[in-house]
Structure 1
Amino acid sequence: MQRKSSIDLAGAAGLVTFATMLAFNQVVIKVTNGGIGPVFGAGLRSVLALAALAAWVWLRGIGFAGLRRHWKPGALLGGLFTVEFVCLFLALDLTTVSRASIMLYSMPVWLALIAHFTLPGETLSRRRALGLVLAMAGVVWALYDPQSRGAGDLRGDLLAVCASLAWTGIALTVRLTPISDAPPQTQLFWQLAVSAVALVALAPLFGPLLRDPSAIHWAGLLFQAVCVASLGFLFWLWLISIYPASDVAAFSFLSPVLSVGMGWLLLDEPLGPGTLGALGLVAVGIVLINRRRRVA
């Protein structure tokens, strides 16, 4: 499909749906970690998601075009994907959904900053620079907020920041390397295939593989694999191949807002003025970063 210069109505609706699903996924990961070791769970998710992706490709009869030709950037995508989800699953095992989500969804901040130097047409204006400062101030506020910090863990918060940086690397790799010419299913194949092997191999280094899992933990794992790691990320890769990277990232400000609400509603996490203030700064900052000047 032809690239577009801005988000249209269909793209906005898809991004809102994706943001909501990602927000709920943070809760699902934290619950699933209660029965399955975090890194092992991430590895099983990649294995199941790879199977779901292969089934989807086979049913549609479309194949994995350019699989061998793009093995170098594909391996890089897979490595970044592995780092992202080692960090994210461990983060959600240590800290709250609210705090981890604010850190994770600082991704548009890092993307805007790096895109300023690497992607044409995405320079950092004064307004976008102000947005970056506000968003970063929100992240720092969230890190040091005394009320939510008591329910979280600084190690988990920093791991979530690392996951955010790895996610930024994925977005930039998709845009700046030859794999940008590959269809979304090929890009996702490399991420899932590499991470399936790497995560399962690394899992024993992070404690017991199983933590007395029950039906809800296996159901959570299945949701992550099918709805998020395969079809969900396939959809996200498709969107970022059509719309400007920063415009796609802009909608991610919805995910921390929704994640904080779901953490409070479903997990009874603390929701004080510090968390809300930090969340507000991050959200406003992301909007300013990604708001484009209208041309008369």
Structure 2
Amino acid sequence: MDQRQDLDSKASILMLILCIILGLQQVVLKLAATDISPMMQLALRSGLAAILVFPLIRLPEGARLLSKEYLRPGILVALLFTAEFVLVAEALRYTSASHTVMFLYTSPIFTALGLHFKFPSERLSKFQWGGILLAFIGIIVTFVGRDATQSQNLMQVLYGDFLALMAGLFWALTTISLRMSKLGEVHPTHTMFYQLIGAFVVMFPLAYFTGQSEIHWTWLTLSTLAFQTLVVSFFCLLLWFWLLRHYLASRIGVFSFLTPIFGMLFGVWFLDEKIELNFIVGTILVMCGIMVVSIRGWFSNSRAIS
């Protein structure tokens, strides 16, 4: 019998904390970029977090991850996950943290589209297709109507926005691949270990090859790495899995829409980023579209995911 609960005050507070932290992570990456590049931050964060996650892998179940049926999808998921964060790191070089976090969190739209064509149970209704259309209109609005006089490097900003949008697409591809493979049956820490190791193995040498390996060991660098490793990659991971085990996924998922809002607020607060009117309008349309696509899960008595 499913023992997962509906939302209570405890879960609501924990989800709020989680969204605040996740909204802050892109801002922290950008804030420390002068001392350590986002590419190197994400590489080191992934490697250090993998060391912390490894003891949590359950044996002998964990030994099965080296078998062919798990290793192949594990490598695919690791590559998709890595591609997402390479795109995030590159996006932060050209556009703001506010823009990056918003475009990254378009992922649910791409996920819904992919699952629609793969699983009969995930078919989108006409109402949800309307949400998809609304979200894509919002994406278009965020790209058009900008005043070039307000940005010295408008084309670079647009390029960075596009990279962040592609990061959202690869996040969705990672989710879809997990759903379609054997990895969907194992403990989440096993999958996360694949992703973290893959990100480190690819991004660490890539930082050197692209000239982004220089590190100035300041207090900002150390505190950033500690935050990214211990809080974002480890604490948030454990908190999210604990919430999924105790509460209905369709209920706690409602809070995910707060993350890009916090990201934009933190970008303005800590980085003095400017938010254009068209970007605000586009973001509202995108968030409303994602809510429409997800609304069926919120109001149905859905089974919690394992």
TM-score range, shorter chain: 0.7 to 0.9
Contact preservation (8 Å) 1:45, 1:229: yes
Distance 1:274 1:248 in 2: 30
Please name the residue that 1:21 is paired with: 21
Is residue 210 of structure 2 the alignment partner of residue 206 of structure 1?
A: yes
Shift of residue 100 of structure 1?
1.2
Q: 1:64 aligns with which of 62, 65, 82?
A: 62
Distance 1:254 1:67 in 2: 34
| Unaligned residue ranges in structure 1 (runs of 5+) | none
CA RMSD after TM alignment: 3.1
Please name the residue that 2:304 is paired with: none
SS of the counterpart of 1:146? coil
The residue identity in structure 2 corresponding to 1:150 is: S
Please name the residue that 1:99 is paired with: 99
Is residue 289 of structure 2 the alignment partner of residue 285 of structure 1?
A: yes
Distance 1:143 1:241 in 2: 39
Contact preservation (8 Å) 1:37, 1:209: yes
Distance 1:181 1:295 in 2: 24
Contact preservation (8 Å) 2:134, 2:289: yes
Please name the residue that 2:181 is paired with: 177
TM-score by length of 2: 0.84
Shift of residue 190 of structure 1?
0.5
| Unaligned residue ranges in structure 2 (runs of 5+) | 302-306
Identity across the alignment (%): 29
Counterparts of residues 152-231 of structure 1 (less than 5 Å): 153-231=157-235
Shift of residue 221 of structure 1?
1.7
Distance 2:296 2:50 in 1: 37
Shift of residue 3 of structure 1?
8.9
The residue identity in structure 2 corresponding to 1:45 is: R
Contact preservation (8 Å) 1:99, 1:157: yes
User: Quick one: structure 1 residues 192 and 240, their matched pair in 2 at CA, closer, same or farther if it must change by over 3 Å?
Assistant: same
Between 102-111 and 203-212, report the one with greater CA deviation. 203-212
Q: 1:255 aligns with which of 240, 255, 259?
A: 259
Shift of residue 198 of structure 1?
1.1
Please name the residue that 2:135 is paired with: 135
Please name the residue that 1:82 is paired with: 82
SS of the counterpart of 1:291? helix
Shift of residue 98 of structure 1?
1.5
Describe the superposition over 1:123-178 as per-residue Cα deviations: whole angstroms up to 9, x where unpaired: 21122111111111112221224159727612211111111111111211221110
The residue identity in structure 2 corresponding to 1:73 is: P
Please name the residue that 2:52 is paired with: 52
Is residue 270 of structure 2 the alignment partner of residue 274 of structure 1?
A: no
Please name the residue that 2:37 is paired with: 37
Distance 1:155 1:207 in 2: 20
The residue identity in structure 1 corresponding to 2:170 is: A
The residue identity in structure 1 corresponding to 2:226 is: L
User: Quick one: structure 1 residues 110 and 127, their matched pair in 2 at CA, closer, same or farther if it must change by over 3 Å?
Assistant: same
The residue identity in structure 2 corresponding to 1:75 is: I
Contact preservation (8 Å) 2:39, 2:212: no
Shift of residue 28 of structure 1?
0.7
Shift of residue 202 of structure 1?
1.3
Between 245-254 and 25-34, report the one with greater CA deviation. 245-254
